[in-house]
Structure 1
C-alpha cells in the first residue's frame, strides 16, 4: 500500500468515525458531546491488543461481518469503564459501580454498537458507491486478546493488517475512547481503491 492509498483510507476512517460519533450524539440526546480528531493507523494483528491496553485488558467488543460488495469484518471496541460511562449517559444515571452490566445495559450496548457501525459503514458505502451491509452484531465482554483472536484467526490467512480508527468522545469532563477495527479481505481493499480511482 502506498502513501496515497493510506491517506485515502485515513480519510475514510475520519469521515466514518465522524458520522458514527454524530449518530452516537443523537442516540444519547446530548448536545455536549465533542469528538477529538480520530487517530488512524494500519496495524499488524499482533499489535491490536496493545493499542487497547494489553491482551489481558477487559473490553467490550462488538463484531460484525461485512457483506455485499465488500467482504471482511468490522469491530467496535471500548474499555469496560468507557462502556459504563456511555451507558450512564444513555440511561441518564450516575452509577459508579463498574463491576457488572445488567441485561438492559447489555442490550443498550449492542444497539449502540449496531448504530455506530451502521453509520460508519454507510459513510464508506456512500464514498465508494458500493453496497455494503453487515450481519447482526455479536457482542462479547472479555480480555482484548481473546476478542481480537477471532478476526486474527479468520483473516490471518488473507492478510496481516487491520485499519484501526481510535476516536475519543468527550461529554462534560468524561472522556470515552472507542476503537473501530476494519478488516476487509485483500480483494475488498482492492475494490475500495478501484472504486475511488486508485
Structure 2
C-alpha cells in the first residue's frame, strides 16, 4: 500500500501547510490562529462522503483544480454549522437566520479556501520540487454526496485515491474543522508518490549526515 516514508512525508506536508495557513489567516484576521496537528488519511474516493458525515450531510464545499507537473483536485469540505460560524468570524458580523449564504459570505469563504488551498499546495510543491499551481476557487453548498461529485461532473473523471488532511483550529477560530482533500488524477498519483518518497529519503539522509 503506502510506505512509512510516504506517510511521514504526507504528515510533514500537512503540518507545514497547516502552519502556513494559520499564519496567513492570522494576518488576515489580525488575531492569533492555532491548529491541532492535522490528521492524515489515505482513503478510496468512494469513501470520501462517509469521512465527512455521510452523503446526505449538508456541507459547504470549496473546489480548486491543480495543474502543472501533476494534475488533480482540491476539495475543502466544511460542516454546515462550522461554515456559518466561519462567516461570522471572517466578516465580524452576526449572520441572519437562514441556510443560504449571501454573496459576501460566499466571497469570504472562497478567500479562506484560497488561503488554505494555496498554503498546502505551496508546502507540497516546496517538499516535492514539483511545479504546481491552483485554479480560482469555486463554492457550493449542498449535501456532501453532491459536493464530492462536483469535480466528476466538471471533468468526467476523478482519481480513485484521496489524501485527507483533517485540520482543526483550536484558537482564533473556535474549534472549526476543515476537511481538506487532495485527489490527484490517476496518471499523476504515482508521480506524486515517487516525488514524496524520494524527497523523504533525501530529507532523512541529510538529517543523518548532519549528526555529530
1:5 and 2:6 are equivalent in the alignment:
yes
1:189 and 2:180 are equivalent in the alignment:
no
- Give the 3-state SS of the residue equivalent to 2:14 in structure 1: helix
Q: How does 1:110-129 map to 2 (within 5 A)?
A: 110-129=110-129
Unaligned runs of 5+ in 2: 202-212
Q: Which residue of 1 aligns with 2:55?
A: 55
Q: Distance in 2 between matches of 1:82 and 1:41?
A: 21
Question: Greater helix share, 1 or 2?
Answer: 2
Q: Which residue of 2 aligns with 1:35?
A: 35
Q: Which has the larger radius of gyration?
A: 2
Q: Distance in 2 between matches of 1:158 and 1:90?
A: 32
Q: Distance in 2 between matches of 1:96 and 1:173?
A: 20
1:94-124 per-residue CA deviation (whole Å, 9 max, x = no partner) reads: 4473533211111111111112111111111
Assess, with a 3 A threshold, how the Cα gap between structure 1 residues 4 and 151 changes in structure 2: closer, same or farther.
farther
User: CA RMSD for the aligned pairs?
Assistant: 2.4
Q: Which residue of 2 aligns with 1:23?
A: 24
Q: TM-score, normalised by structure 1?
A: 0.88
Unaligned runs of 5+ in 1: none
| CA shift for structure 1 position 151 | 4.0
Assess, with a 3 A threshold, how the Cα gap between structure 1 residues 66 and 87 changes in structure 2: closer, same or farther.
same
CA contact (8 A) 1:24 1:115 kept: yes
1:168 and 2:156 are equivalent in the alignment:
no
Q: TM-score, normalised by structure 2?
A: 0.82
Assess, with a 3 A threshold, how the Cα gap between structure 1 residues 92 and 6 changes in structure 2: closer, same or farther.
same
| CA shift for structure 1 position 156 | 9.4
Q: How does 1:90-109 map to 2 (within 5 A)?
A: 90-95=90-95, 97=97, 99-109=99-109
1:85 and 2:72 are equivalent in the alignment:
no
| CA shift for structure 1 position 86 | 1.5
Q: Distance in 2 between matches of 1:158 and 1:110?
A: 22
